[in-house]
Amino acid sequence: MGRPLRSEQVADDEVSIVHAVQRCVRRAFLAGIDQATGTDYGYRREWIRRRMEALASVFGVDVLTYAVMSNHMHLILRNRPDVVLAWTDQEVALRWLKVFPGRRIEEHLGEPTESDVQMLVADRERLAEVRRRLSDISWFMRSLSEPIARMANRQDECTGRFWEGRFKLQRITDEAGLLACAMYVDLNPVRAAMAESPDESVHTSGYDRIKGDQGQEIDSAAFDLVPITTEQAGAERRNTPVDELRETKRAKRKNPRGRRIRRDGWLSPLTLDGSTLASDAALNHDGVRASDKGFLGISLKDYVKLLRWTAKQSEEGAGRNVPPSLQGLVSRLGIDLSMWRDLVWNFQRYFGNSCCAGSPSGMSQFAESSGRKWARGYRRVAECFAA
C-alpha cells in the first residue's frame, strides 16, 4: 500500500501538524564535517536555522520543533490557513513579495516597492493563489531548501543537487504522537552522539527554548515587513554603486529590523493557553511568527524536565521507571510508562515507514480519513500504549 498523496495528508483549508524530513543528497555531510576532505561545513546549520526563522515571520506556518543535523533536518510544522485568512490583501502581497520579489539586482533579491504590492493586490486571481501558498507546507519547505542549495553551490563553485529530493512528510495525528515526535526531534543530536544533553544540542528547538527561558537573545532574522517607495527604489538603483548596494543588502540580511528577540521568540509557544478558544487564530503582532498559539498541554518547565530525563536513557532497556514527578505527563496520553523511552529513542522503528505518527486510535482515524484500511506500523505502536 503506497503512501497517501500530499493532498490527503494536509488539506489546504484545515490546520494540520506534520513531521517533515529533508536529507542532503546521498546523505553526505554537507552541513557537517566532510568525511572525504575534512572540511567543516557546520556553519551551514546556522544558515538553515536563520532561513527558517526568516520564513516563520512571513508564512502562515508555525515552526513547532526542529533539529538541523549534519546531513539532514527535521521540522514539525503546523499550517495556519486561518491565520493567513485574517491578513489583509496588502499584508499577503507584501509577505509573498519579500520571499519572491520576481526580480534580481546583481544576484541580490530586490526589495518590493509600494507599487509592486498594489499591482499584486489588484490581480485578484493571483492574490488568491498567493494567499493559499502562504500556508502551504510544501511552499514553505521549497522556500527553505532552494536558497540554501544555491548558497552552498555558489560557495563550493559547483552545480547540482544539495538535497536528495522532495522532503518526506508524516502527519501527526494527536498529542501523544506530537509529544513523542517533538522529543525525538529535539534529541537527535544526543542520539547521534553530537551532544551529551539537550542543553548542548545547538540548532534544535529544545536548545533554543532552554536558552530563551534563561533570557538569551539573538539578532532577529525576521523580514522587515515595510515596502519601500517606488521613488526610493529608483534612486537607490541609479545612485548607489553596485558594490555598495551589495554590501548594504548583505548587512541588512543579518538583522533586517535591527532588533533582538528571545532565542526561541520565532518558534511557536510550547504550551497551549487553556483560556484561549481552540478556534482562535491567536495572530502574532510582533512580526516574528505566524501566531502565538501553543501546541502541547504541558508547561515548558515540565517539557524540559522530561526531555532531559529521556536524554539520559541512552541504553537499550533503560528508562523503565519514569520518575513519579514525570509519570503524569506521559500516562495522561495513554502511553505505557515502561515504553516511553523506547517510543522516543526508537521513533523511527515505530513510525519510520508510516504515513502518520500518533496513538493507535489516532493512526486508525487518519488511515480511515485518507481512504485506507490501516496505517503501517499500527500493531507495533500499540505495544507502547496502555490497553
What tens digit of pLDDT does each residue of 208-226 get? 999 999 999 999 999 999 8
Lowest average pLDDT, out of 15-29, 35-49, 77-91, 369-383, goes to 369-383
| 317 or 271: which leads in pLDDT | 271
**Cell for 266?**
520565532
**Do residues 46 and 34 touch, judged by C-beta distance below 8 A?**
no
* pLDDT recorded at residue 10: 87
Model confidence at 36: pLDDT above 90 = no
Residue 98 Cα distances to 95, 114, 131, 170, 368, angstroms: 5, 12, 14, 29, 39
DSSP lists the bridge partners of residue 290 as none
Burial tier of 27 (Cβ tally within 10 Å: 0-12, 13-18, 19+) = exposed
Model confidence at 53: pLDDT above 70 = yes
* pLDDT recorded at residue 108: 41
Over residues 60-87, the mean pLDDT reads: 97
Over residues 252-266, the mean pLDDT reads: 89
- Of 33-37, 159-163, 231-235, 271-275, the range with the highest mean pLDDT is 159-163
Supply the pTM of this predicted model. Answer: 0.94
Specify the long-range contacts of residues 159-168, CB closer than 8 Å, at least 24 apart. 160/25, 161/25, 162/24, 162/25, 162/30, 163/22, 163/23, 163/24, 163/25, 164/23, 164/24, 164/25, 164/26, 164/27, 167/20, 167/21, 167/22, 167/141, 168/20, 168/21, 168/22
Model confidence at 107: pLDDT above 60 = no
* pLDDT recorded at residue 3: 64
Rounded to whole angstroms, the Cα distance separating 211 from 82 reads: 30
Mean pLDDT of all residues in the chain? 91
pLDDT band at residue 110 under the 50/70/90 scheme: low
* pLDDT recorded at residue 270: 98
Over residues 333-352, the mean pLDDT reads: 95
Over residues 68-75, the mean pLDDT reads: 97
Model confidence at 299: pLDDT above 90 = yes
